[in-house]
């Protein structure tokens, strides 16, 4: 079992205090495309991988997002909570768990993630491939997929933070902390100027 990072408590508090806003489950994930240009998209926070600090996200192997991430091992997430006026930025390694991932524990986590999403979310993985020319309306009414076995194009995407920047915009002056994980997996935290 991994030691939970010290930034988990402030994040849990922000999630709790902003739970009435459905948009507080969304954050932006930035990566770099093969040509060096930035790519940014909004994703849904799906919780943490059990007993780890990995943030869970889902994606489709047929999407542009998947193609940008599969060859890029790093990403940065930016998460803003409107009620508490807090921002968290997470920099870390991205781990893509697709149907061919060799680790059985990760495959189990992928299957659990599939089972935890809604029927409507699962159905979207049976739709025509994202980003291709618009299909007929009928193509968007497939039979519901099995709720226990993930479709082959379903991926669990994990962000394993090594650096977290937490800014509270309330206060005069504002408050900011930087968390950093070293090579021995130990976290340090320092209060910095906003």
55-106 pLDDT, tens digit each: 999 999 998 776 667 665 899 999 999 999 999 999 999 999 999 999 999 9
In the block, tokens 């999630």 appear at 15
Structure tokens at 182: 């070293």
- The pLDDT value recorded for residue 171 is 87
Q: Write out the residue range of the structural domain in which residue 15 sits.
A: 7-111+154-192
Report, as an integer, the average pLDDT of 7-25: 96
Closest CA to 155 of 194, 125, 120, 184: 125
| 132 pLDDT above the threshold of 60 | yes
More reliable by pLDDT, 102 or 171:
102
Give one DSSP letter per residue of 121-171, joined into a string: HHHHTTSSPTTSSPPPGGGG-PPPPPSSS--TTEEEEEEEEEEEEEEE-SS
* Structural domain total, the chain: 1
Mean pLDDT, the chain, as a whole number?
94
In a domain, 130, yes or no: no
Decide if 55 is inside a domain. yes
Residue 37 lies in a domain: yes
Q: What is the mean pLDDT of residues 183-188?
A: 95
Q: Exposed, middle or buried, 8 (CB in 10 Å: 0-12/13-18/19+)?
A: middle
């Amino acid at each position: 079992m991994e030691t939970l990072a010290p930034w988990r408590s402030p994040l849990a508090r922000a999630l709790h205090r902003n739970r009435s806003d459905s948009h507080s489950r969304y954050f932006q994930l930035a990566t770099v495309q093969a040509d060096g240009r930035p790519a940014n998209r909004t994703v849904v926070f799906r919780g943490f991988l059990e007993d780890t600090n990995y943030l869970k996200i889902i994606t489709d192997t047929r999407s542009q997002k998947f193609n940008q991430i599969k060859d890029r091992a790093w990403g940065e997430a930016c998460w803003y909570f409107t009620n508490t006026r807090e921002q968290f930025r997470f920099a870390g390694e991205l781990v893509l768990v697709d149907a061919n991932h060799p680790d059985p524990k990760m495959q189990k986590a992928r299957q659990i993630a599939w089972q935890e999403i809604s029927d409507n979310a699962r159905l979207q993985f049976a739709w025509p491939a994202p980003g291709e020319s618009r299909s007929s309306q009928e193509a968007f009414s497939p039979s519901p997929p099995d709720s226990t076995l993930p479709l082959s194009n379903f991926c669990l995407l994990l962000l394993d933070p090594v650096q977290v920047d937490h800014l509270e915009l309330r206060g005069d002056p504002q408050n900011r902390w930087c968390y950093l994980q070293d090579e021995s997996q130990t976290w340090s935290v320092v209060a910095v100027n906003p």
